[in-house]
Structure 1
């Protein structure tokens, strides 16, 4: 493509000046193997900017880029990329092929059986049930198999069940429907009669058809893309719903089609875990993570915390239990055989001969399996001992009132002093040495293989996952990694009435405190890209904590750009209210009547009285509940309270907020309603943020992260706590003005936003925002609000 050819890809008539600068910077930087970091306020057109640059590189014959991979943590933004790609395709020059695109989702979203809740499928079992059916289908059709994939698919079509009074009925034949299409298969899982005592082997007809469409291994130049039942050069963007529809129409597995199409499409839209979660990248998207990919990291202010969670590890108490059981199931036939006893009633695992044969084909011995079993059993006993000791010390009488227990963390070392954790020290003193730690993963893999072979089904087993984390626990250092026991509230009636396991899910957690290496090394695997968000400042902090500094050290350029709001300034008013700091020391508990709370109640009451919808963001859900109670007594409009709840409840609350006359929505700044939600048009007239939403600094994990950041960057409080908190506040405030015609009020309430003092956060606001957010005293806020309304 020639200079400026990106304009032919650009989906609108004329780009903004900021888009021109951003696209051309991204192109220049990416051609040198580098990355562009863009902070762009709402209205910058970041999505179109990133897609235009990436697609131009992919379509350029002189470029090495073959695809664009978009990563975002917010569903709303995922849909925005889909919409902008469709806009690009709708406005391409007439002779151009449409840009092919695919949105990545999991099996639960695209499996027709799971979507319709038939054939014993549901979200809880879809992955294991799917893998089991695939394995059986491969066994039936592979080398030396009983039949062919084409025959299995044809047989499924012939097994349609005559049930005229339920489901779709064509002459009494019931067929599976999903995504507006009808497959030629019944809703029940078909079986192949292999002559065995079980009466037939279940298989997946969709997967059988996919296997039938794959080229033979001997076909020169054949690829998985040949199994995709649509023309990738002509189809444009394929959404998950369309993928299911196409798969249903062809009778082929939508998830397998998605995997086959991935390397061939020009734009792949997914989530952060598609690039940063070790399990997902190894099993599915690894082939996209190379120098031929231009990566777009959207909502990049969330990159650091999301990746920190993805690269942290854990071993659940129940997983330890299951891994011990799996090891015993493999050992039991050998023990019974030595004693001359039958294994039929003692174990579901096959006979001793199978176990010996599998062990002979591996580098694992029965003695090693026994040693690992004993180690994991002892580890679980140690976990149990520590949880009981913690509860005895912190909650005397806990056995008589399990319902009163709350989530808890039990640190395994002083979070502020890097040192060997107590579990590692216990193991060392008990004689569990290095070889046992590092061999547990290999042993677990062999145990799982033996059980799957014996049971004739491919299922996820606990032993390999437990073994992998055990190995990581031993190998990782004690400065950047923090180990603790996590207790998550649950309720399990099957556990004894006086057991903590009735009230808790217990977990040995291995936290990666500083994910910069994980982020930087993953970004380095791409050819180049864009990282973008509305809130990335301070840029130097962002580039450090995301490992981009490492790339610059490898002579890969990193360019930074910031584009502010370019909508009319007269349409907005912004205040930084110098109320006392909203800290626990100043405000007291939510039920207390303190001078600080009275000032905040007055401030949010005045903002909430603005006509139209008003968003109030508080540092926590407990403070949100307090604020909602205050506002119910002060404003003459409905007050909606967002609690820590599931996605469905949040969506319902959002819909209620948007419907009808003006309301007040009170939420936590650490929730999902203050970022990634579109409040465009007249959906939001004002927003107030109370306090600086720094996470709970008393948490052991938070203390460990802060200490690790002290060692890595010199100022853990600023890098790990303060800067992310200010970004949260800016995200909430940024919901107000979303377009050139919109009018709104933005209020930050806390003197740390208003004054330049030792603990001020004002310096972390970009310069133009510092100019716009006028410092005002609490008693002058009402006057400022009145003047703005009078001016309109």
Structure 2
């Protein structure tokens, strides 16, 4: 759609069923966009929608999705975005739709978030131990589950009258033990019970009653108080005889128990929110005040929600999908998928599909196997434990794993020893090559604080790596596959042992090693990661370098189009949208969508193929409100720009030219966003500008989100002071952040923000694209994503009809006639830009702002 500057279209004039779903009169491109989405998704297809900032893409997708829900063509809509700001926009737009739906039932909306935000004890920081939230919360839940199991024999310290008549005693004469939800106590039960659920709701209610009866301050979060203590209670606080718990002893989670005490019923619904959209804070307040686990409540409500809003993990991460797919069952052929900021999809999913396994996890897995072998031999166990009991339980468990025996465990243990030794050799060789006497430099504090990649094969070719090859020579070639079964068996031995509370890692390690040995060589790149992380250690069994570095095996996904195609193929179609998707033909290939739509010559479409269409909308705001220029400067490349010095006389000619241009731009009226190719170059620009311009100069760094938010608050502060914000074009503040109104007047991108192509990992990525897409590796994997970054950055300026601003690209490679030009990749934006010489830049800016 061309830049017409058209205003809105009256909803009354739109002859379409969806018109009254729109919360206000739509813009022409929104009307057209909704029709495009409906046309494609009614056939179960996917629409690639590129729309400039301010197009209203979230409303387009939500209104179309709501209409498809009304038509019962889909069961639910799932919208995913990698940007928190955009997640909030989905919520805002969904709330606006509901506020407008006065004559229809409101849409049930729910925001999906991770455990850290949804588990009460994680929110207030009182989880026991120092493990990850995932690991510690799993331990709490396992202990809770052991206490509330229907076949549990632990006697809870409750009395018959404690639960308003729900507690009863065993029906067997002369037995006074509590029977909870059954007629008989655990000692007298048989198989006559019809209820086969694994948990006992009365035991769960009794556990919650005991937790709520404990002394001490209550947990408080999200503005509400819970009925339970602020720290997780312990089994010793709730059992008649704590010594009987054995491996089940430990802290437990009464919020989790309450979910089962309610028999998996959530005592609140979408009406808890005035807008019928449940955010994480709303769910936490409603659940915690009732003593229930917010995470379990969220998972249950997901099943009945009309619209789900979350991040990429919920749709594409194999681990997180256990919540959305396996547990709640909301990723299926009835789900319409909306992917926001879809230009990031390839990069983010590549990271989600990559795996690492650290040295410490390998060592722990080795100990898991060693202890399991001791149990099986009758020699293991803590002092005072019964070795014969260990042996009986371990043998019983191992008998359930076909082909896994003592010999298998010995081989698995020896294999991990070999891996640890091989990793030690690789790391030692690298450090000697890089630093010669690295130990001396480390002691003196002169060792560079940088991380390293150790590639295990030539990244330019597709071949097996030297670690896998060496393992095949030292062991049977099937050892990688066997490690998955070995790890699972060892984990089961520990999990089922009644005398220990060890949390094994052998299962996860075994799965990783199996994937390492079987994953496609072209799709995955194998290397060793070395992270600079100095720390004291007295463990003499660790290599010397462990005091300075962490080391891990890395299985890096280079090209994720096949897993993406699998996800898309399972769903009911949808929308992938961004301000920067073009070139569409390339996007279809790298996202895997071409695999769903391609039909071989001479064949007909089948139910396994689907339609993939495109739609593109440029800026619909008045053209006279903006100026777009390519500044004819030398390429700002690593080779041209030289060292990032701030002394003008010491700069290369290319750096001097760009330094002069960014000073001119920084002095122009209003707030200015300067985007350099990297954070290191952004540091240079900040240092240079601080001494040459009168405006405050803010530095954006790669840091925590709360620090970035605080920095943006300073930039947006409405105090009549203009500011300059300097960042990396590959950073976070150039995408998804809303610079609406008078927050931003000029955005400038210095150079073409290419990723570092010198790393082994990036070389492997380019090679993978070369192999898959006929020698287009640099263009597909590096060049197109870089130009999308630049387009995203300049798109921050104009967000509405009344906004005025300038957009600048500082590098002649953006010109259509330049060597190594990237002009064609600017897509629709390229028609907006004219070229200005550096000596005319100040005049051009003065002319625009002084008109």
Select between 79-88 and 647-656 the one with higher mean Cα deviation: 647-656
Question: Does residue 1:197 correspond to 2:235, yes or no?
Answer: no
CA shift, 1:81, in A, is: 0.5
Describe the superposition over 1:526-557 as per-residue Cα deviations: whole angstroms up to 9, x where unpaired: 11000000111111111111011111124310
Residue 145 of structure 1 aligns to a residue whose secondary structure is coil
- Higher mean Cα deviation, 721-730 or 567-576? 567-576
Number of the residue aligned with 2:88: 79
Q: Which residue of 2 aligns with 1:569?
A: 623
- Residue 569 of structure 2 aligns with which residue? 524
Kindly indicate whether the alpha-carbon contact (under 8 Å) linking 2:672 and 2:747 is maintained by their aligned counterparts in 1.
Answer: yes
Cα-to-partner distance string for 1:669-712 (whole Å, 9 max, x where unaligned)? 11111111111111111111100011111111111111111111
1:58 matched to 2:69? The reply is yes
1:742-781 to 2 correspondence within 5 Å? 742-767=803-828, 769-781=829-841
Specify the alignment match of 1:120 in structure 2: 128
Instruction: Tell me the equivalent position of 2:164.
Output: none
From 36, 39, 46, give the equivalent of 2:50.
39
Q: Within 1, Cα distance between the matches of 2:386 and 2:35?
A: 66
Cross-structure match for 1:417? 461
Q: Distance in 2 between matches of 1:511 and 1:459?
A: 30
Contact 2:816 2:824 in 1 (8 A): no
1:132 to 131, 139, 142: 139
C-alpha displacement at 1:187, in angstroms?
Answer: 2.2
> Which residue number corresponds to residue 264 of structure 1?
304
In structure 1, the residue matched to 2:345 is 303
Q: Which moved more, 1:526-535 or 1:273-282?
A: 273-282
Displacement of 1:565:
0.7
- State the match for 2:850 in structure 1: 790
- Say whether 1:25 aligns with 2:36: yes
Cα offset, 1:137, TM superposition: 2.5
Deviations 1:436-457 (A, max 9, x none): 1111112111211221222678
Preserved contact between residue 333 and residue 347 of structure 1 (Cα < 8 Å): no
1:8 maps to 20
Q: 1:427 to 1:259 in 2, by over 3 A?
A: same
Q: CA deviation at 1:69?
A: 0.6
Paired residues for 1:74-223 under 5 Å: 74-94=83-103, 96-118=104-126, 120=128, 124-146=131-153, 147=180, 148-160=200-212, 174-190=217-233, 191-197=237-243, 202-214=251-263
Partner of 1:627: 685
Matched, 1:480 2:523: yes
Q: Contact conserved, 1:152 with 1:192, CA < 8 A, in 2?
A: no
Is residue 428 of structure 2 the alignment partner of residue 376 of structure 1?
Answer: no
1:248/1:789 CA distance change after superposition, 3 Å: same
1:649 shift after superposition: 2.1
| Superposition deviation, residue 252 in structure 1 | 1.2
Q: Distance in 2 between matches of 1:325 and 1:380?
A: 13
Counterpart-to-counterpart distance in 2, 1:68 and 1:284: 13
**Is the aligned partner of 1:406 residue 2:445?**
no
The alpha-carbon deviation at position 346 of structure 1 amounts to 9.3
How many angstroms does 1:458 deviate by? 8.2
Secondary structure in 2 matching 1:351? helix
| Cα RMSD for the two superposed structures | 2.3
Post-superposition offset of 1:459: 7.7
Provide the C-alpha distance between the structure 1 equivalents of 2:124 and 2:381, rounded to a whole number of angstroms.
43
1:288 to 330, 339, 352: 330
- Contact 2:526–2:554 at 8 Å: present in 1 too? yes
Deviation, 1:417, is 1.5
1:461/1:28 Cα in 2 relative to 1: closer, same or farther (>3 Å)? farther
1:761-789 Cα offsets, whole Å, 9 max, x none, are 0111123x222111112111111111101
Q: Equivalents in 2 of 1:32, 1:342: separation in Å?
A: 62
* C-alpha contact 1:487 1:504 (8 A) present in aligned 2: yes
Residues 1:514 and 2:559 are matched in the alignment: yes
8 Å Cα contact 2:629-2:807 kept in structure 1: yes
Q: Deviations over 1:723-769 (max 9, x none)?
A: 000000111111111111111111100000124234100111123x2
Greater CA drift, 481-490 or 400-409: 400-409
Name 1:166's counterpart in structure 2. none
| Paired residues of 1:135 and 1:457 also in contact (CA < 8 A) | no
Picking from 545, 548, 562, the partner of 1:503 is: 548
Give deviations 1:172-192, integer Å, cap 9, x for gaps.
Answer: x74322222222223243442
Instruction: Give the aligned partner of residue 472 of structure 2.
Output: 428
Of stretches 634-643 and 197-206 in structure 1, the one that deviates more from structure 2 is 197-206
CA 45–36 in structure 1, closer or farther in 2 if over 3 Å, else same: same
Is 1:131–1:458's contact at 8 Å kept on the other side of the alignment?
no
Aligned partner of 2:434 among 394, 406, 409: 394
Structure 2 partner of 1:167: none
Tell me how far apart the structure 1 counterparts of residues 800 and 553 of structure 2 sit (CA, whole Å). Answer: 47
Specify the alignment match of 2:397 in structure 1.
358
Query: What does 1:580-659 correspond to in 2, within 5 Å?
Result: 580-591=634-645, 592-659=650-717
Q: Is the 8 A contact 1:100 1:234 kept in 2?
A: no
Q: Which residue of 2 aligns with 1:169?
A: none
Question: 1:283/1:97 Cα in 2 relative to 1: closer, same or farther (>3 Å)?
Answer: closer
* Counterpart selection for 1:324 from 355, 366, 387: 366
Give the TM-score normalised by the residue count of structure 1: 0.92
Against the structure 1 CA distance between its residues 456 and 279, is the aligned structure 2 distance closer, same or farther, given a 3 Å change threshold?
A: farther
SS of residue in 1 equivalent to 2:628: strand
Partner of 1:220: none
Q: How many residues align?
A: 760
Asked if 2 retains the 8 angstrom alpha-carbon contact of 1:23 and 1:49, the reply is yes
| Alpha-carbon distance in structure 1 between the residues aligned to 2:15 and 2:519 | 48
* 2:587 equivalent to 1:542: yes
Contact 2:148 2:203 in 1 (8 A): no
Contact 2:272 2:278 (C-alpha < 8 Å) held by counterparts = no
Partner Cα separation in structure 2 for residue 563 and residue 21 of structure 1: 10
Taking a change above 3 Å as real, the CA distance of residues 154 and 560 of structure 1, as seen in their structure-2 partners, is: same
**Partner SS for 1:296:** strand
Q: Which runs of 5+ in 2 are unaligned?
A: 1-13, 154-179, 181-199, 599-607
Rounded to whole Å, the distance in 2 between the matches of 1:448 and 1:400 is 41
Q: Structure 2 length normalisation: TM-score?
A: 0.86
SS of residue paired to 2:850? helix
Q: For 1:460 and 1:59, locate their aligned partners in 2 and report how far apart those are by CA, in whole Å.
A: 48
Structure 1 match to 2:177: none
Q: Output the CA distance in 1 between the equivalents of 2:612 and 2:514.
A: 35
Q: Secondary structure at the match of 1:784?
A: helix
Tell me how far apart the structure 2 counterparts of residues 92 and 488 of structure 1 sit (CA, whole Å). Answer: 53
Q: Deviations for 1:254-274, whole angstroms, at most 9, x for unmatched residues?
A: 111111111210111111111
**SS of the residue 1:401 aligns to:** helix
